[in-house]
Chains A and B, each alone.
Chain A
Amino acid sequence: MTQDVEMTEPQAAPLAAAASSNSASSATASSALQHLKEIAALIGNGAYAKEVRRIVRAVRLTMLLRRKLRAPAVAAFLTFALPPGSEAQSRLSSYLPKEDEHEMDVDMATSAGQVPFKNSLPELEIYCYLLVVIFLIDQKRYNEAKACSSASIARLKNMNRRTVDVLASRLYFYYSYSYELTNSLAEIRGPLLALHRMATLRRDELGQETLLNLLLRNYLHYNLYDQAEKLRSKAPRFEAHSNQQFCRYLFYLGKIRTIQLEYTDAKESLLQAARKAPAGAWGFRIQCNKWAVIVRLLLGEIPEKTVFMQKGMKKALTPYFELTNAVRIGDLELFRTVAEKFAGTFSSDRTNNLIVRLRHNVIRTGLRNISISYSRVSLSDIARKLRLDSDNPVADAESIVAKAIRDGAIDATIDHANGWMVSKETGDVYSTNEPQIAFNSRIAFCLNMHNDAVRALRFPPNSHKEKESAEKRRERQQQEQELAKHIEEDDDDEF
């Protein structure tokens, strides 16, 4: 990976100057083109050797190159990678703006000099689709991206190669993304379901993973929690292939469970998603944290202050911090003002309905504070302290206290005749078997964890052939370098 970064860095400087002068722009174009050619070589190797790993690497390299992509470079790459006159080539080129004659000549010459992929690989064709879709999205030409990605999906349906799967799963993602950007996600629900079925039949697990997430996203976009949960619970599950997809899955799962009031499970999923997410994914982690804070509040927990003070998230989490404060104090009035003050944020986060649910927790916390402070307190005082504004506050307070007692939030009894709430003495826990049980469950957890870890240890299947494969790798790397150099030299010849 470090090597990859080094490879692209020297080109960053020309990029800055690219906008102003023409010569600089053509220089960037050619260097981008050269990188694209390297990537193409990588894909070609991966496809011949049936090594998915290299294709993954090619995709990663493309993402690094993404900001440097310009129309001429992409167009030149298409003429290079795809057989001239083929359907894919003519279709993809039509999405790119026509450049002036001079540059065309250069491109033609470049492709004439190279004849590596005469009989085009399907991997390469799909890669070209992917590249053009990404390019179109970056250029904010969403409708064309939509058309292009739809065409690529149609093409993918007729391809059944495991080496295409990685590229396909990226394409699925951009396919859905382009529809989301044009706000027409509902249209592709059917196609996505069909693709998911196809991926399942082909045992394309990465594709299934991606498509399931896209479908969940699609449903949740329209708040269709019921459908999302039905699909999720019935879709086949297996060990995650991609960490990113797994994080997304956990986040969606957490959201569904929050809505369906399964707060304990929701909290687990959301926290796990926030922890597993890559450090760079700020937006995603902020979203996870927002939901996790609400779920913890709904569970009656108060999140620690450090949650809100995480670097880079402080500002985004401020509304939730103030909300937590209101719940912690148990002040209904403060809670109401905070909910009103940040109503805009909460509705854009679509957490409005959850905030409404929190009111009940504010009352509970307030009640718990009262029950701890007083050994005996009249119901009318409780009503006043909780600021219950209704026609009959004492009766309301009585039933609220009764429910809190039943739910185990407070330990007390009500004396109806006198209108008192009497808090019970907290008994000595250590005189019961409780500690013993808690101790046992913790030990069991640790032992289980250890056993799982032992079971999860994996050994490479052919570790005795280690030496040979290392040699092979060296050989291959050498070949790659030679190829890269070759391309470089060719390019130098052109100028």
Chain B
Amino acid sequence: MDPQLTEVTQLFGRFKASFIRNDFGTCTNLLSQLKVLLTKFPSLPPSFQQTPNAVEELTIARDIYEHAVVLSVKTEDQDAFERDFFQLKPYYTDTCGIILPSLQEYPILGLNLLRLLVQNRIAEFHTELELLPSSALENPCIKHAVELEQSFMEGAYNRVLSARQTVPHETYVYFMDLLAKTVRDEIAGCSEKAYDYLSINDAKKILMFSSDQELSEYITEEQPEWEIKDHCVFFQKAKESQPCKEIPSLQLINQTLSYARELERIV
């Protein structure tokens, strides 16, 4: 066996051990060492050289990056998640036929979809979705994310929140919690436009706060233009399209003059 491969395997064994112990500090250190070692394998993307150890190298590299993605979720680091996911992606798209598909593939792809949803990157969400074969949409992990997106677009926020109870994988909980925050902001935005006012109790229920204290904190921090009066929250609505009393004379004069000038040029 190739000495480099042995080294990586041993290091990865230690990584997995501390991963199970939830010792994330050690994990992160070992992971950076592993990533450096992986750069020495010629068979990995993007070069894809046909070396005798290609299959083993690709399999272990994919395994490492899959763990890296899960680790980044556990350490709640979204940037690291994005980086690791993009390093992992070529293994899913370009290695068919060389190594067997991974069992972790759909959970991780679903996790990525969820991340894009949380970050409100809907265009990228759909771009990723197009890459999946129609059979993948039946997978519970993918289906979960797709249904979430639909409810989210419709505005059925209750369904989004109740989906937290039916997460297909434990790692999804982190993003679901983040999603709750995104949903609250969305609800706040909608309520502002849809209601003239809400009683404090109703507002609390709609915005999912457990105490008046939390609600008023949220309002002072995020929505300073809202007003609390007589146990009610008043939303300051911009008065749109008021009947026009004044004629915008200067603007009209300018427009008419420019029409005259243009007509002059044509005739």
User: Bound state CA distance, A429 and B241, in angstroms?
Assistant: 8
A438 close to chain B: CB less than 8 A:
no
B129 near A353: Cβ-Cβ < 8 Å: yes
Q: Per a CB cutoff under 8 Å, which of A359, A434, A443 touches B150? A: A359
A301 close to chain B: CB less than 8 A:
no
**Secondary structure call for the B interface:** helix
Q: A223-B130, A406-B193 known; A399 and B157 CB under 8 Å?
A: yes
B202 close to chain A: CB less than 8 A:
yes
- Name the distance in Å between B127's Cβ and chain A's nearest Cβ: 5
For window 210-228 of chain A, which residues contact chain B by CB distance below 8 Å? 222-226
Q: A402-B191, A416-B202, A432-B244 known; A261 and B154 CB under 8 Å?
A: no
B194 near A352: Cβ-Cβ < 8 Å: no
Residue of A at shortest CB range from B157? Answer: A399
Beyond A356-B146, A390-B156: 11 further Cβ-contacts under 8 Å?
Answer: A260-B123, A357-B126, A396-B159, A399-B156, A399-B158, A403-B190, A405-B193, A406-B192, A416-B199, A432-B242, A433-B248
- Name the distance in Å between A160's Cβ and chain B's nearest Cβ: 30
A431 near B155: Cβ-Cβ < 8 Å: no
Can you list the 10 inter-chain pairs with the closest CB atoms, starting with the nearest? A403-B155, A402-B190, A402-B194, A260-B123, A431-B243, A406-B193, A223-B130, A400-B155, A405-B194, A406-B190
> A381-423 interface mask toward B, CB cutoff 8 Å, 1 = contact, 0 = none?
0000000101110011001111111100000111011000000
Q: Per a CB cutoff under 8 Å, which of B154, B158, B194, B248 touches A413? A: B194
5 contacts between A and B (CB under 8 A): A261-B122, A360-B150, A406-B189, A406-B190, A432-B243
User: Bound state CA distance, A167 and B224, in angstroms?
Assistant: 66
- Name the distance in Å between B88's Cβ and chain A's nearest Cβ: 15
B150 near A440: Cβ-Cβ < 8 Å: no
For window 236-258 of chain B, which residues contact chain A by CB distance below 8 Å? 241-244, 248, 252, 255
Residue of B at shortest CB range from A392? Answer: B158
Residues of A within 8 A of B123 (CB): 259-262
Residues of B within 8 A of A390 (CB): 156, 158-159
Residues of B within 8 A of A436 (CB): 252
Q: A413-B195, A414-B194 known; A225 and B130 CB under 8 Å?
A: yes
Number of A-B contacts (CB under 8 A): 107
User: Bound state CA distance, A222 and B96, in angstroms?
Assistant: 14
Residues of B within 8 A of A222 (CB): 131
- Name the distance in Å between B72's Cβ and chain A's nearest Cβ: 21
How many chain-B residues does the 8 Å CB contact rule pick out? Answer: 43
User: Bound state CA distance, A363 and B155, in angstroms?
Assistant: 10
For window 334-358 of chain A, which residues contact chain B by CB distance below 8 Å? 347, 352-353, 356-357
User: Bound state CA distance, A436 and B247, in angstroms?
Assistant: 11
Q: A405-B193, A431-B244, A432-B243 known; A259 and B158 CB under 8 Å?
A: no
User: Bound state CA distance, A405 and B150, in angstroms?
Assistant: 18
User: Bound state CA distance, A433 and B243, in angstroms?
Assistant: 8
How many chain-A residues does the 8 Å CB contact rule pick out? Answer: 48
Q: Per a CB cutoff under 8 Å, which of B190, B191, B199, B262 touches A447? A: B262
Residues of A within 8 A of B192 (CB): 406
Residues of A within 8 A of B202 (CB): 416-417
Q: A356-B150, A450-B266 known; A402 and B155 CB under 8 Å?
A: yes
User: Bound state CA distance, A360 and B147, in angstroms?
Assistant: 12
A427 near B241: Cβ-Cβ < 8 Å: yes
B187 close to chain A: CB less than 8 A:
yes
Q: A400-B156, A414-B195 known; A225 and B150 CB under 8 Å?
A: no
For window 4-38 of chain B, which residues contact chain A by CB distance below 8 Å? none
User: Bound state CA distance, A260 and B146, in angstroms?
Assistant: 16
